Amino acid sequence: MSIFASVTMAPGDPILGLTETYNADPRKEKVNLGVGIYVDEQGKVPVLDAVRQVEQALARDDQPRSYLPIDGLPAYNRATQNLLFGAGAAILEAGRVATAQTIGGSGALRVGADLLKKVLGDQAKLAISNPSWGNHHVVFRTAGFQLIDYRYYDDASHGLDFAGMLEDLGKLEPGTVVLLHACCHNPTGVDLDAAQWAQVVALLKDRGLLPFVDMAYQGFDRNSTDDALAIRLLADSGIPAFVVANSYSKSFSLYGERVGALSFVGADRDEAARLLSNIKTTIRANYSSPATHGGKLVAGVLDSAELRALWEQELGGMRGRIHTMRAAFVDKLAALGAPDFGFINRQAGMFSYSGLSKAQVDRLREEFAIYALSSGRICVAALNTGNIDYVTRAVAAVCR
Ligand code: LMR
């Protein structure tokens, strides 16, 4: 009898597991609107020119593959801080930010969650938007947090339930960690505007809550600076402590390189140093140190004024194509006599909460080989001129 005989089958991942099913689907016309990956007009994950230039320069020299420091490449961490907070930001000058390169944004979330659990102990609670990215729940629950939903999405308007959000955040106990999506909310595509962010930041400060900002889509709504607004407001707010997890998977199109970072902000330089030492022990206990290649690519782009400008331009190209696809999706569905999908033009980033029911999503997959999440989330960044007619006709059919 095997010692593993009692192990039962775990459920497939709702997002990455769906891609496994999609990959196994033999139908030629298949379209994957499930996972959040940007693909270009040809349906390919692009290699950005800025990244290619760094990669080619690296390839010309030997690259000894020693271990990186536990907290990653110093140049990467510096560039990350500048991108998140703005070069020369007071919070950086004051030495209040401790940043470590991590294995993707998920690695940042998990290391952050583990460290916060250690600090907060049995009382660790996380307030999370309803809905949120499914893996947020998994990561924080696995780290030992108790989860509390706060209202966020309003089904009727396909927009933000801001009053509900404020009411729920206002009831949280001081010290509760509040998970916020900096921009391009996953899965809804519904974001706060500048005035709403200012109100939320004031409330977080007033109530002594601990903001934990996840930024996985920097530059997919406006540009990399404007999309960091929530982080910049927190930095200037006088809130003594907060956390940021960020990812370059999407913004640098480097998904498989697992490039992310975790930043803990403390009250002063000394607190930041103590936080960094604890980030490092947490990383060491998880995976020792991050990977070299992706970190060098990102640092190489961000450290060169010329490549940084090229990257911003290429990011703008991805953003623009998604906007075009949103508009085409809405217009084509209107022309097909489907119910109004105009709200999709108001949503930001890669995703849209389409309002499609689970039954409609099932029909899309079974009858048309079009894959979306059962929540109705679709990845608009997977649409292109080659598949949009097929997709909109299928959506119109399941709406009939
Ligand atoms: C998504 O939401 O589809 C992406 O963030 C990919 C993932 O890891 O789930």
Quick check: 31 pLDDT over 90? yes
Quick check: 42 pLDDT over 90? yes
Same-domain check for residues 162 and 23: no
Per-position DSSP letters for 72-103, written without gaps between them: --HHHHHHHHHHHH-TT-HHHHTT-EEEEEEE
Same-domain check for residues 21 and 74: no
Same-domain check for residues 219 and 327: no
Mean pLDDT of all residues belonging to the chain: 97
Q: For residues 40 and 237, what is the distance between their CA atoms, to the nearest angstrom?
A: 39
Quick check: 302 pLDDT over 90? yes
Same-domain check for residues 319 and 215: no
Ligand 1 atom nearest 379 alpha carbon: 3
CATH number at residue 271: 3.40.640.10
CATH number at residue 391: 3.90.1150.10
Same-domain check for residues 199 and 84: yes
Same-domain check for residues 296 and 313: no
Residue-number span of the structural domain to which 360 is assigned: 14-47+307-399
Any domain includes 348: yes
Ligand 1 atom nearest 13 alpha carbon: 9
Same-domain check for residues 166 and 237: yes
Catalytic residue, chosen from 133, 191, 197, 221, is 133
Taking the centre of ligand 1 as the mean of its atom positions, its distance from the CA of residue 36, in whole angstroms, is 5
pLDDT tens, position by position, 141-185 = 999 999 999 999 999 999 999 999 999 999 999 999 999 999 999
Q: For residues 13 and 139, what is the distance between their CA atoms, to the nearest angstrom?
A: 13
> Residue 338: left if φ>0, alpha if ψ -120 to 50, beta else—which one?
beta
Cβ within 8 Å of residue 145, ≥6 positions away? 113, 116, 117, 124, 125, 126, 177
Residues of the chain with pLDDT > 70, as a percent, come to 100
Ligand 1: residue whose CA is nearest its atom 2: 36
Q: Is 214 a catalytic residue?
A: yes
Q: For residues 91 and 177, what is the distance between their CA atoms, to the nearest angstrom?
A: 21
* Phi, psi for residue 256 in degrees, rounded to 5: -75, -10
Same-domain check for residues 324 and 203: no
Average pLDDT over residues 43-53: 97
The total number of structural domains that make up the chain: 2
Any domain includes 152: yes
Quick check: 303 pLDDT over 90? yes
pLDDT of residue 63: 86
Q: For residues 349 and 325, what is the distance between their CA atoms, to the nearest angstrom?
A: 12
Any domain includes 218: yes
Cβ within 8 Å of residue 311, ≥6 positions away? 48, 50, 51, 252, 301, 302
Q: For residues 345 and 349, what is the distance between their CA atoms, to the nearest angstrom?
A: 10
| Whether 178 contacts 244, CB under 8 Å | no
**Ligand 1 pocket, residue 186 CB under 6 Å:** yes
Nearest to 182 by CA among 114, 112, 230: 230
The domain boundary, picked from 303, 318, 340, lies at 303
pLDDT of residue 64: 87
